[in-house]
Amino acid sequence: MKTSIKISMLMFVMGMLHGCSKDGTDVPTQDAPTSILSLNPNNGPMGTKVTIKGRNFGTGSGEVIVFFNDIEAIVESIGDSEIVAEVPVMGQTGQVHIQTMEGEIVLGPQFTYEHTPRVSTYIGTEAYMQSPRGIAMDATGRMYIADKFNHRILTKGPTGPVEVFSGSTEGMMDGAIDQAKFYHPEGVAVDAEGNVYVADSGNHRIRKISKEGVVSTLAGGRAGDADGTGLRAQFKYPVRMVFDTMGNMYVSDAGNNRIRKVSPEGEVVTFAGSTRGTADGVGTAAQFYNPMGITMDSQGTIYVADNENQRIRMVTPTGIVTTLTGETEDFENGPVETARFDYPSDLVIDPRGNLIIADTDNHKIRCIAPEGTVKTLAGSSAGNTDGLGEQAKFRNPYGICVGPDGNIYVTDSGNNLVRKIIQE
């Protein structure tokens, strides 16, 4: 009797040992259901290697499929209690789950997906640009670039090489697109009909390149600050332009520290700004200091990269100027109240409603989210490196636009390149 009791106790203990590992955790058995216990790490961008711990995953690489919020991942290795998988592009935040060969769906913990922009070179040194500045795209994805020190406007379609759209040597000449001349063009813009406009900074004019290939002067004649129509109006180093829904153009007139409004007929009035300064206010009571980049949201609010004030300013449709963020030359992310910039030169609104800024002397592309937080989208120190987020490097990024594909394009002025930023 005692012997049978001892044998029973021994078998019980052996069974307990068989069901436990040395560290006291349960060892999966073929009778236990497939389950996901943990993720490590549980957050990260695309390409992150995640170790998934669990039970009864099988031992063959084709026995389970791993999904990050319904996007299939690349499985690097699989064991009965551990899978190593790579976070896919567009993984998004959500539950990780696996699907077994039998079609069973097993849900796991949530993975927090971190959006990390990818920076690549879109136009390289083969274009022989000299300090490219303003950049714009039309609805078809055709790009236009102000190649400042070559006195040219370049163009590139979604496919194909970079070509000279107009301009050659320094000068001032209207006429046929292949004969016209510009002098230090700073900005380009495209209207709803596909006409291209140039902030011909060295000539102090706004030029128009029609769809028919004719270059003309819309407004401006010589350096000055006079309102008026056509050649009677005066600018002083105009640099950027943006259109409202009525076809009116708003120009950052950098040398005059003003925002000017130009009608489709070429009538110029001062919309905001006066003498150099930092004052908020209405219309000409407000002050800017070398305003450069300019963009507009769907409500008609204008955003200005107030370059030498190190600020981002807002101008309502009625001309009320306020400071959104920035104060002194520096670099700091965080709430708009404390964020700092270093000579911001251009800005644009992306499809998510973020304000994207070319922070020139910080060599970074910054982002202001709708809720009012400033972060670095891409870039770190000065250099020329493609890569993810802050691994990438720019040298004095100057112009910025968003294409119809939703991607961001940047004139990397110090590197004489155009860079492409893919946001997921």
pLDDT tens for each residue of 238-283: 999 999 999 999 999 999 999 999 999 999 999 999 999 999 999 9
Eight-state DSSP code of residue 404: T
Would you say 260 and 273 are in contact if contact means Cβ atoms under 8 Å apart?
no
C-beta separation of 185 from 147 below 8 A: yes
- The structure tokens listed for 117 are 């922009």
Peptide bond into 41 cis (omega under 30): yes
356 near 364, Cβ under 8 Å? no
Q: What's the pTM? A: 0.82
**Res 420 pLDDT > 50:** yes
Residues 6+ apart with CB under 8 A from 319: 271, 272, 282, 283, 286
pLDDT per residue as tens digits for the range 29-43: 446 788 999 999 999
- What gap in Å lies between CA 342 and CA 143, rounded to an integer? 27
Classify 2 as helix, strand or coil.
helix
**Band of the pLDDT at 22, cuts 50, 70, 90?**
very low
Does pLDDT of 14 surpass 80? no
Sheet holding 320-325, edge to edge: 281-282, 320-325, 311-315, 302-306, 291-296
Residue 92 — very low, low, confident or very high, per pLDDT cuts 50/70/90? Answer: confident
